[in-house]
Amino acid sequence: MDEGQVEYTEAVTRRESGQDETISANRGWWDQEAADYLEEHGTFLGDADLIWGPEGWSEDDLHVLGDPTDLAGRTILEFGGGGAQGARWCATRGARVISTDLSAGMLATARLIEARSSGPPPLLAQADATRLPFADDSFDIVFSAYGATPFVADSAALMAELARVLRPGGLLAFSTSHPIRWAFPDLPGPEGLTANGSYFDERPYVEATWDIASYVEHHRTMGHRIAEIIDAGLVLRAVHEPEWPLDNTEVWGGWSPLRGQHLPGTAIFVASRGHTR
């Protein structure tokens, strides 16, 4: 390196990362990546569809939120909604929907999609899902496909916050990468099939330059994730581990048809505040 030049080398580590550092890093990362994310995954996600993960299963396939004809008139919150595609799917079924996201960049992609869409638009708001600007008991349904949950340090606090804004009897549903993935290299090929880490190691994955984090992703074992849901006062209704469908040939990061034949890639957690909705 020439004299006077400064080296900016990004390092990948597993180390603790608190809530403030995590939020700051991920807000910046998603702001910067938003346009590329839409470019890369927009067609797969659709403009007004609720796709639960890289397997490609949609809400029309899985009915995680219940009977779709029952959504009309419901008040629904999408957290970590990105381009708000899932919220738009709910809005077209007659629900009153607000989609929130930490990242202004991701909300900008939602507005881009909105400009070319003809269906009823969801409301959009910038909000950290661990500190929602809504009153207690506001929503019949709270959901997210891969939003926020792995990107916060205190996911127990996130569960409590989501439970707070749910009405009694309301439904929480969210997907995230399946916890078993954390024991394997995040690679789509055969090298991603040999465990090289511990499933039990819950230290987050951190990308950093000079130890200043630029991306942080957090892991919980299945048992700890379920405990956080129960500790938030919610009733766990289901955990879905959707299989990779044979007709999906797309690779999305570390998710691929090859790995999908061997390992679950997505976990969808469904809980309710009390027993009925």
Ligand X SMILES: C[S@@+](CC[C@H](N)C(=O)[O-])C[C@H]1O[C@@H](n2cnc3c(N)ncnc32)[C@H](O)[C@@H]1O
- Laid out side by side, the sheet with 139-145 consists of 123-126, 96-101, 75-78, 139-145, 166-177, 266-272, 235-240
Q: Which is nearer to ligand X, 148 or 163 (CB)?
A: 148
φ/ψ of residue 129, rounded to 5: -65, -15
| Stretch near ligand X under the rule CB under 6 A, chosen from 58-66, 78-86, 166-174, 211-219 | 78-86
Ramachandran bin of 73, using left for φ above 0, alpha for ψ from -120 to 50, beta for the remaining angles: left
CA-to-CA distance for 239 and 235, rounded, in angstroms?
A: 12
| Stretch near ligand X under the rule CB under 6 A, chosen from 55-63, 76-84, 87-95, 160-168 | 76-84
82 binds ligand X (CB under 6 A): yes
**Which DSSP category does 204 fall into?**
P
Token reading at 132? 């929602």
Find tokens 């797309």 and name the residue: 250
23 binds ligand X (CB under 6 A): yes
Q: One symbol per residue from 116 to 135: x for binding ligand X (CB under 6 A), - otherwise; what is it?
A: ------------xxx-----
φ/ψ of residue 276, rounded to 5: -125, 160
CA-to-CA distance for 127 and 103, rounded, in angstroms?
A: 8
45 binds ligand X (CB under 6 A): yes
CA-to-CA distance for 88 and 43, rounded, in angstroms?
A: 15
Q: Smallest gap, in angstroms, from Cβ of residue 250 to ligand X?
A: 14
Contact with ligand X (CB under 6 A) among 17, 25, 30, 162: 30
Q: Which is nearer to ligand X, 71 or 107 (CB)?
A: 107
| Rg of the chain over all Cα atoms, to the nearest angstrom | 19
269 binds ligand X (CB under 6 A): no
Q: Smallest gap, in angstroms, from Cβ of residue 84 to ligand X?
A: 8
Nearest CA-CA partner of 29 in 15, 46, 10: 10
Q: Smallest gap, in angstroms, from Cβ of residue 187 to ligand X?
A: 18
101 binds ligand X (CB under 6 A): yes
CA-to-CA distance for 205 and 219, rounded, in angstroms?
A: 8
Q: Note the residue count of the chain.
A: 277
147 binds ligand X (CB under 6 A): yes
Nearest CA-CA partner of 103 in 149, 53, 52, 148: 148
Site for ligand X in 148-207 (CB under 6 A): 148, 151-152
47 binds ligand X (CB under 6 A): no
Q: Which is nearer to ligand X, 113 or 271 (CB)?
A: 113
59 binds ligand X (CB under 6 A): no
Q: Which is nearer to ligand X, 28 or 233 (CB)?
A: 28
| Stretch near ligand X under the rule CB under 6 A, chosen from 1-9, 140-148, 227-235, 236-244 | 140-148
Residue nearest to ligand X (CB): 82
| Binding region for ligand X (CB under 6 A) | 23, 26, 30, 45, 79-82, 101-103, 106, 128-130, 144-148, 151-152
